[in-house]
Structure 1
Amino acid sequence: MTTLSQPAAGSAPATKGGGRVAVQRFGTFLSGMIMPNIAAFIAWGLITAVFIQTGWLAQFGILVPAIGGFPSADGTLNIGLVSPMITYLLPLLIANTGGRMIYSTRGGVIAVIATMGVIVGSSVPMFIGAMIMGPLAAWLMKQVDKLWAGKIRPGFEMLVDNFSGGILGALLAVGAFYLIAPVITGLSNALETAVNWLVSAGLLPLASILVEPGKVLFLNNAINHGVFTPLGVQQVQESGKSILFLIEANPGPGLGILTAFALFGVGLSKSSAPGAIIIQFLGGIHEIYFPYVLMKPLVIIGAILGGMTGVFVNVIFHTGLRAPASPGSIFAILIETAPDSYVGVILSVIAAAAVSFIVTGIILRASRKRDLASENAGDLSAAIAQTEANKGKASSVLGRLQADGLADEKDALLNVGTYAGADTVEEIQRSQEAQGRAAVHNIVFACDAGMGSSAMGASVLRNKIKKAGIADVTVVNKAISNLTDDIDLVITHQDLTARAREKTPSAEHFSVDNFMSSPKYDEIVALLQRQSETEKA
């Protein structure tokens, strides 16, 4: 029986980077709580943009009556729907997601109970409180359950589980109300005061000095989702919009950089830039331009100056968004733009793109002769590899850039997974047969958030399997934290395989270097076809 073989133990390289990796992991954890709930933020932003006193309908003199519950003074939905969503719905969604990341469904329940304490005990939206209490409560519940794991008499399991969860939840909610809520409230107010001071002093553009390099190194999530999003939502509640949502999401700097490479670049960097512009500017996937910056480090100057220009324009015009724009697509930004901010927002994108284009163009023109004389000029392979190393996992969109750089069939096969000493399909198949493992009928692509790169990789492989006529193999994508030990095969980036193996020790684990490299999936499909033929025989 032919199956996919498990990578050699210890094949995944050790993670390096020290403090950068620690911050990166922290940012990934924060984004893992926020990103799955972005749809709720967008829904709240749209409701806010349409129905509040300064919203779209009010611009035309239309007031929509609130239907029960918390009616506002003017009878609109301003308080009737907007306020409960920001006060309860959004923080509780974040808490539930954070709790599930730590301890599955039970962790999500205890996280919501505990977070109610900080919500009720605070006068500001408790996004930061939810991101703290949610995971903390789930972790405590996990430790409590360990105390009597395997010691409960049969028939009393549900009684003990329910009462232990209820008692701990009650204690955490009360404790959060009296102890945690005041601290988080003070922290939120201090951060808001600091941001307001930067805005009033005209110093907010300086944030780009940290944000733009942080984006390239994938260190921005801790700031963006840990500070900008919670404070931005709080500002929306107070003034109807927030400039903080535009600091990181502005696609202008990336647009300018890619346009400069499309006009003045050489080799693959020049030919791939036009396609990257579509993905970055329209699709909102900013990481597509990071390899171009890493290939020419001086280009980061263009990104910083472009970002500062965009923020400066938004400060001058007092613009802002109603909700986070995620991904950072021009469409998402325009949809969430406050009614009185369209001119400023559009100008900020144009100005940021123009400045980054000019600076990047000067840098590329200055080194053009030297680049043309270099054999490796315009080769994105090393820069893409460095970008994925910074991210800590493979990137689906960067795979499209890298696919053209695959040298030969052997390199493609080596990228399929980690097979000790296997250089050809025949050797891989012999290795599989020697393993004698069970057939593979369900495949899971796993990454940190269970979205983005793993979703696109799963889609690509699913389509190839369908076209090959293989009907008994399912392919889905999940977050590593949601993996269960009933999966036949788990596909992860090589840096994440060890974490996935802890969640699914019984599964076969398949390490890849890039989720979007088509030669990998062609080989996987070929192996699955052989498995199918063997089973039929």
Structure 2
Amino acid sequence: MTTTTDAERGFSPRVALQKVGTSLSNMVMPNIPALIAWGILTAFFIPDGWTPNEPLASVVGPMIHYLLPLLIANTGGRMIYEARGAVVGVIATMGVIGGSDWLIAQENARLLEQWIAQGNAAADYAELGEVHMFIGAMIMAPLAAWLMKKLDRLWAEHIPAGFEMLVNMFSAGIFGFIMLVAGFFGLAPLVNGLMTLLSNGVGALVEAHLLPLVSLLIEPAKVFFLNNAVNHGVLTPLGLSEASQNGKSVLFLLEANPGPGVGILLAYTVFGRGAARASAPGAAIIQFLGGIHEIYFPYVLMKPILILAAIGGGMAGVAVNVAFGTGLIAPASPGSIFAIFGVAARDSYLGIALAVLAAAAVSFTLSAVFLKIGKQDDGDLAAATAKMEQMKGKKSSVAGALTGAGAGAGAAAAAEGSGHTGPIQRIVFACDAGMGSSAMGATVLRKKVRAAGFDDVEVTNKAISSLNDEWDVVVTQKELTDRARQRTGSAVQVSVDQFMNSPRYDEVVELVQQRNDPDAAEAGADEPAPDAAAADAPDSRPEGPEILAADSIVLSGSARDAASGIDEAGALLVAAGAVDEGYVAAMHDREATVSTFMGNGLAIPHGTNEAKSSITRSAMSFVRYPDGIDWNGNPTTFVIGIAGVGDEHLALLQKVAMTFSDPAQVERLENATTTEEILEILGDTKE
């Protein structure tokens, strides 16, 4: 029986928060170009802009007050109920905008009357500014679209033939009017009050010089994939309101500053170990220049104390920005250093540069201290993945236990569990917003699929919220897999723990080769089913060589570190006639780029894909180290060497994974006194 966790059923509070954040983000992200256009208009043509122009400046107000919220409303309604939801959502949002303006006008009239009564001149009264209904649009448009969808279902079966268009047009118009009135008198006062409360709160923090404290909330929220909820759900609406009055806002910089993330990645580059150290430099370039902040989240998750480094860097950056009075004229999306300077206010370039440097320096320093002290067995992406699964309460699986193992192991297991049996024609890499990290992952995976000769296989990227159950393979970051599974239940779910150089990409390619190669399919069809063959002639099938032979098992190895452990496991493969010496060298090459430490005291070294020509047949070796060895900072008891030609070794690999996910079985392996016991625990080892 399979136990389903709360997260798998969709009840996880974290998953629920991510869903809300994704919905908010998906309403804003497609409209970022309009926000940038408004920012350019503001930067150049308002009285304080680079080239003041009164006629063009007259467009600034209507654009932020009407166009941008209505664009967001259109997107939000369309997400729920396509074009019909978009129209009703825009109508309803117009009611919220009108209601807000009416309330502000009433309040200005009341305050002006008091001002005059106090003996002041009417011309000296400073009116309250407009409240821009970004949050109102994010609430009202999806709500109106959802209600319209429910109402349509009530009478869908009762419309007389020929009257469908009439009913559809009038029902949407009438309901849109009703929601406009509801927004005018109901939601507008609530949003006005909320925006006033939030603005006053931010203002109080600024005046008290406490704005850096918001990093205590923002940085942890980012790492747990709530960055879009914080940025686009809260900071963007507040920042746009402030920018419309002051020409810039520091709120746009609170989440977008790349300094904290790049500081952590640089620290891993200098002080990290294994795969984390090897991949950190490239990740730093992508995060800093490409603006994909999600790429550093797994590095923090594998050593959670580093969240303090992110917070420290964030606070330092905010403090410098506040001290220099910096701000952006529009949201910076993605959070690239180029995007930030592209929308920076004309007086903020120096301050922003210093803020980024300060954030990176503080984050780097704290990360360096945390990486140098404490246990070093967390400095491995594969080990961190296993640890993340335990913290999340998810049942261990072959795919999880073999992160970074032999080609095809993780994806093959995921395919078995999914029930998907046909060819692989459509692959999607999904992330929270469907832009930054998923676009990069899809690019890497697409190149590998094309290089393997499968030009007809579609590989693209999307937001999780836009997925439906039409995909063959869905690739996501491990933190987001539960949400993707809810929308694509019949697809093969493949989780990655990093966006660059993930071994899972090669596994997906192998899965495509297995499913889409006609020659391989015909060869398999010509062979009798195993059960039938066994029934008809149980002794007629010739036994192939053993993948794990007794001669390839050592109960007490002599190695003392990863390098000598690879040599020992590789020498057994060479002695078995499965590989040549060049494959052992390729095992060292693999270890130099991606650690093969799996967790639970197990390492599974294997060669690179380029070394497959050095393999004669599929084989495995097993070496036990009763006193343990140091595998690049990870205590290791078992080393299993792998060499695979096709998929003969996958069944045994899956057995190995299941064995090492069971503490009782691991204890049996530790206490075994003969090679026969090892073979019995691991099961059938024939090809």
User: Is residue 117 of structure 1 aligned with residue 124 of structure 2?
Assistant: no
Correspondence for 2:542: none
SS of the equivalent of 1:148 reads helix
Cα shift at 1:136: 0.5
CA contact (8 A) 1:51 1:78 kept: yes
Correspondence for 2:667: none
- Paired residue for 1:169, among 176, 194, 202? 176
- Paired residue for 1:491, among 458, 465, 474? 474
Give me the TM-score of the superposition, normalised by structure 2: 0.63
CA contact (8 A) 2:10 2:16 kept: no
- Within a 5 Å distance, the mapping from 1:33-72 to structure 2 comes to 33-57=27-51, 63-64=52-53
Correspondence for 2:357: 350
Cα shift at 1:337: 0.8
CA contact (8 A) 1:290 1:387 kept: no
* Structure-2 change in CA distance of 1:188 and 1:470 (3 Å): same
Correspondence for 2:144: 137
Cα distance in 1 for residues equivalent to 2:388 and 2:334: 19
Which residue identity lines up with residue 520 of structure 1 in the other structure?
A: E
Give the gaps of 5 or more residues in structure 2: 101-129, 394-399, 523-687
Cα distance in 1 for residues equivalent to 2:98 and 2:519: 57
CA contact (8 A) 1:198 1:204 kept: yes
Correspondence for 2:167: 160
CA contact (8 A) 2:305 2:370 kept: yes
CA contact (8 A) 1:285 1:328 kept: yes
SS of the equivalent of 2:416 reads coil
Cα distance in 1 for residues equivalent to 2:441 and 2:95: 40
Cα distance in 1 for residues equivalent to 2:66 and 2:13: 35
Identity of aligned residues (%): 55
Correspondence for 2:508: 521
Cα shift at 1:387: 7.1
Which residue identity lines up with residue 491 of structure 1 in the other structure?
A: V
Cα shift at 1:83: 1.5
Cα distance in 1 for residues equivalent to 2:299 and 2:253: 22
* Structure-2 change in CA distance of 1:176 and 1:341 (3 Å): same
Question: Looking at CA atoms only, which structure, 1 or 2, has the larger radius of gyration?
Answer: 2
- Within a 5 Å distance, the mapping from 1:136-285 to structure 2 comes to 136-285=143-292
Cα distance in 2 for residues equivalent to 1:118 and 1:471: 49
Cα shift at 1:15: 5.2
Further displaced range: 355-364 or 198-207: 355-364
- Paired residue for 2:312, among 305, 326, 329? 305
Per-residue CA shift, 1:335-378, capped at 9, x if unaligned? 111001111111111111111122222222334xx53xxxx452
Correspondence for 1:379: 380
Correspondence for 1:107: 85
- Paired residue for 1:359, among 353, 363, 366? 366
- Within a 5 Å distance, the mapping from 1:435-450 to structure 2 comes to 449-450=433-434
* Structure-2 change in CA distance of 1:91 and 1:414 (3 Å): same
Cα shift at 1:492: 5.3
SS of the equivalent of 1:270 reads helix
Correspondence for 2:548: none
Per-residue CA shift, 1:107-139, capped at 9, x if unaligned? 112111111111222231100100010110111
SS of the equivalent of 1:293 reads helix
* Structure-2 change in CA distance of 1:444 and 1:352 (3 Å): closer
Per-residue CA shift, 1:133-179, capped at 9, x if unaligned? 01101111011101112222222111111111111011111221222
Cα distance in 1 for residues equivalent to 2:153 and 2:380: 52
Cα shift at 1:23: 2.1
CA contact (8 A) 2:288 2:336 kept: yes
CA contact (8 A) 2:295 2:437 kept: no
Cα shift at 1:468: 4.8
- Within a 5 Å distance, the mapping from 1:383-532 to structure 2 comes to 383-384=384-385, 406-414=404-412, 417-420=414-417, 449-470=433-454, 472-479=456-463, 481-482=465-466, 487=470, 489=472, 491=474, 493=476, 494-501=481-488, 509-514=491-496, 517-527=504-514, 529-530=516-517
Cα distance in 2 for residues equivalent to 1:211 and 1:163: 45
Which residue identity lines up with residue 77 of structure 1 in the other structure?
A: L
* Structure-2 change in CA distance of 1:347 and 1:24 (3 Å): same
User: Is residue 78 of structure 1 aligned with residue 85 of structure 2?
Assistant: no
Per-residue CA shift, 1:185-222, capped at 9, x if unaligned? 22212211111111111111110111111111223433
Cα shift at 1:36: 1.9
User: Is residue 31 of structure 1 aligned with residue 25 of structure 2?
Assistant: yes
Cα shift at 1:442: 5.1
Per-residue CA shift, 1:34-69, capped at 9, x if unaligned? 122222212221221122222222xxxxx33xxxxx
SS of the equivalent of 2:8 reads coil
CA contact (8 A) 1:454 1:478 kept: yes
CA contact (8 A) 1:291 1:386 kept: no
Per-residue CA shift, 1:364-398, capped at 9, x if unaligned? 2334xx53xxxx45211243567799999xxxxxx
SS of the equivalent of 2:132 reads coil
CA contact (8 A) 2:306 2:367 kept: yes
Correspondence for 1:68: none
Per-residue CA shift, 1:309-330, capped at 9, x if unaligned? 1111111111101111111111
Cα distance in 1 for residues equivalent to 2:137 and 2:337: 29
Aligned residues: 477
RMSD of the TM alignment (CA)? Answer: 3.3
CA contact (8 A) 2:334 2:436 kept: no
Cα shift at 1:251: 0.9
Correspondence for 1:4: none
User: Is residue 294 of structure 1 aligned with residue 281 of structure 2?
Assistant: no
Further displaced range: 266-275 or 135-144: 266-275
Which residue identity lines up with residue 419 of structure 1 in the other structure?
A: E
Cα distance in 1 for residues equivalent to 2:64 and 2:247: 12
Cα shift at 1:307: 0.9
CA contact (8 A) 2:424 2:516 kept: no
SS of the equivalent of 1:511 reads strand
* Structure-2 change in CA distance of 1:280 and 1:471 (3 Å): closer
Give the gaps of 5 or more residues in structure 1: 1-7, 58-62, 65-74, 393-401, 422-430, 503-507
